[in-house]
Chains A and B, each alone.
Chain A
Amino acid sequence: MKYPFPVGKSDFIQGDEAIARAAILAGCRFYAGYPITPASEIFEAMALYMPLVDGVCIQMEDELASIAAIIGASWVGAKAMTATSGPGFSLMMENLGYAIMTETPIVVVDVQRSGPSTGQPTLAAQGDVMQAIWGTHGDHSLIVLTPATVQEAFDMTIRAFNLAEKYRTPVILLTDAEVGHMREKVDIPNPEDIELVYRKLPANEEEAKYPFGDIHGDLIPPMPIFGKGYRTYVTGLTHDEKGRPKTVDAEIHRKLIERIVNKIEKNKKDIIDYETFELDDAEVAIISYGIVARSAVRAVKMLRNEGIKAGLLKLNVVWPFDFEMIEKIAEQVHAIYVPEMNLGQLYHLVKEGANGKARVELIPKIGGEVHTPHEIVREVKKCECGV
Chain B
Amino acid sequence: MRFKLSYEIRDKYLRKDMLPTIFCPGCGIGTVLQYTLRAIDELGWSKDEVVWVSGIGCSSRVPGFVDFDGLHTTHGRALAFATGIKMARPDLKVIAFMGDGDTAAIGGNHFIHAIRRNLDVTVILINNFTYGMTGGQVAPTTLKGLRGTTAPYGSFENPFDIAELAVAAGANYVARWTVFNYIQGINSIKKALQKKGFSLVEFLSPCPISFGRRNRMKTAPELIKWYNKITVPISKAKNMSPEELEGKIVIGEFVDRDRPSLDEEYEAYKKRAKKMMGWEE
* Chain A residues within 8 Å of B, Cβ to Cβ: 2, 4, 29-30, 32, 51-52, 54, 56, 58, 60-62, 64-66, 68-78, 80, 94-95, 98, 226-237, 242, 244-245
Q: Is the CB of A94 within 8 A of B74?
A: yes
Instruction: Report if A245-B64 is in contact (Cβ < 8 Å); known contacts: A4-B277, A61-B113, A76-B92.
Output: yes
Given contacts A52-B270, A76-B51, A228-B48, list 10 more A-B pairs with CB under 8 A: A52-B274, A58-B87, A65-B109, A65-B113, A69-B83, A74-B84, A76-B88, A78-B89, A95-B74, A231-B69
Instruction: Report if A226-B51 is in contact (Cβ < 8 Å); known contacts: A58-B83, A80-B84.
Output: yes
Interchain residue pairs with CB less than 8 A apart (19): A51-B269, A52-B274, A52-B277, A56-B88, A65-B83, A68-B73, A68-B74, A68-B80, A69-B87, A72-B71, A72-B83, A77-B89, A226-B69, A228-B48, A231-B67, A233-B64, A236-B74, A244-B18, A244-B64
Instruction: Provide the residues of chain A in CB contact with B110, threshold 8 Å.
Output: 61, 64-65, 68
Query: Complex Cα distance A52/B270, Å?
Result: 7
How many chain B residues touch A (CB < 8 A): the figure is 43
Instruction: Provide the residues of chain B in CB contact with A233, threshold 8 Å.
Output: 15, 63-64, 69-70, 72
Q: Is the CB of A236 within 8 A of B73?
A: yes
Query: Complex Cα distance A133/B228, Å?
Result: 54
Query: Complex Cα distance A76/B71, Å?
Result: 11
Query: Complex Cα distance A228/B61, Å?
Result: 22
Query: Complex Cα distance A77/B53, Å?
Result: 16
Query: Complex Cα distance A365/B165, Å?
Result: 49
B266 CB contact (under 8 Å) in A56, A76, A244: A56
Q: Is the CB of B72 within 8 A of A231?
A: no
Q: Is the CB of A72 within 8 A of B88?
A: yes
Query: Complex Cα distance A52/B277, Å?
Result: 8
Question: How many pairs, one residue from A and one from B, have CB atoms within 8 Å of each other in the complex?
Answer: 144
Instruction: Provide the residues of chain A in CB contact with B51, threshold 8 Å.
Output: 76, 226-227
Instruction: Provide the residues of chain B in CB contact with A226, threshold 8 Å.
Output: 51, 69, 71, 85, 89, 92
Query: Complex Cα distance A65/B82, Å?
Result: 10
B contact patch SS: helix
Instruction: Provide the residues of chain A in CB contact with B274, threshold 8 Å.
Output: 51-52
B3 adjacent to chain A (CB < 8 Å): no
**What is the minimal beta-carbon distance from B62 to any residue of chain A, in angstroms?**
11
For B56, give the chain A residue with the smallest CB separation. A236
**What is the minimal beta-carbon distance from A252 to any residue of chain B, in angstroms?**
15
**What is the minimal beta-carbon distance from A186 to any residue of chain B, in angstroms?**
22
A contact patch SS: mixed
Listed from nearest, the 4 A-B pairs whose CB atoms lie closest are A72-B84, A68-B80, A69-B84, A73-B84
For A65, give the chain B residue with the smallest CB separation. B80
B88 CB contact (under 8 Å) in A29, A60, A95: A29
Instruction: Provide the residues of chain B in CB contact with A95, threshold 8 Å.
Output: 73-74, 77
Instruction: Provide the residues of chain B in CB contact with A60, threshold 8 Å.
Output: 80, 83, 113
Interface residues in B42-77 by Cβ distance below 8 A to A read: 47-49, 51, 53, 61, 63-64, 67-74, 77
B279 adjacent to chain A (CB < 8 Å): yes
**What is the minimal beta-carbon distance from A83 to any residue of chain B, in angstroms?**
15
Q: Is the CB of B109 within 8 A of A62?
A: yes
Interface-centre pick from B67, B84, B87, B110 (highest chain A CB count, 10 A): B84
For A235, give the chain B residue with the smallest CB separation. B72
Query: Complex Cα distance A238/B47, Å?
Result: 25
Interface-centre pick from B15, B53, B61, B273 (highest chain A CB count, 10 A): B273
Instruction: Provide the residues of chain A in CB contact with B53, threshold 8 Å.
Output: 72
Instruction: Provide the residues of chain B in CB contact with A80, threshold 8 Å.
Output: 84, 88
**What is the minimal beta-carbon distance from B262 to any residue of chain A, in angstroms?**
8
Interface-centre pick from B68, B89, B110 (highest chain A CB count, 10 A): B89
**What is the minimal beta-carbon distance from B40 to any residue of chain A, in angstroms?**
13
Interface residues in B257-273 by Cβ distance below 8 A to A read: 266, 269-270, 272-273
B17 adjacent to chain A (CB < 8 Å): yes
Interface-centre pick from B51, B83, B109 (highest chain A CB count, 10 A): B83
Interface-centre pick from A75, A78, A232 (highest chain B CB count, 10 A): A75
Query: Complex Cα distance A62/B112, Å?
Result: 12
**What is the minimal beta-carbon distance from B248 to any residue of chain A, in angstroms?**
32
Instruction: Provide the residues of chain A in CB contact with B74, threshold 8 Å.
Output: 68, 94-95, 98, 236
Q: Is the CB of B83 within 8 A of A32?
A: yes
Query: Complex Cα distance A236/B68, Å?
Result: 17
Instruction: Provide the residues of chain A in CB contact with B279, threshold 8 Å.
Output: 2, 52
Instruction: Provide the residues of chain B in CB contact with A54, threshold 8 Å.
Output: 270
Instruction: Provide the residues of chain A in CB contact with B73, threshold 8 Å.
Output: 68, 71, 95, 98, 236
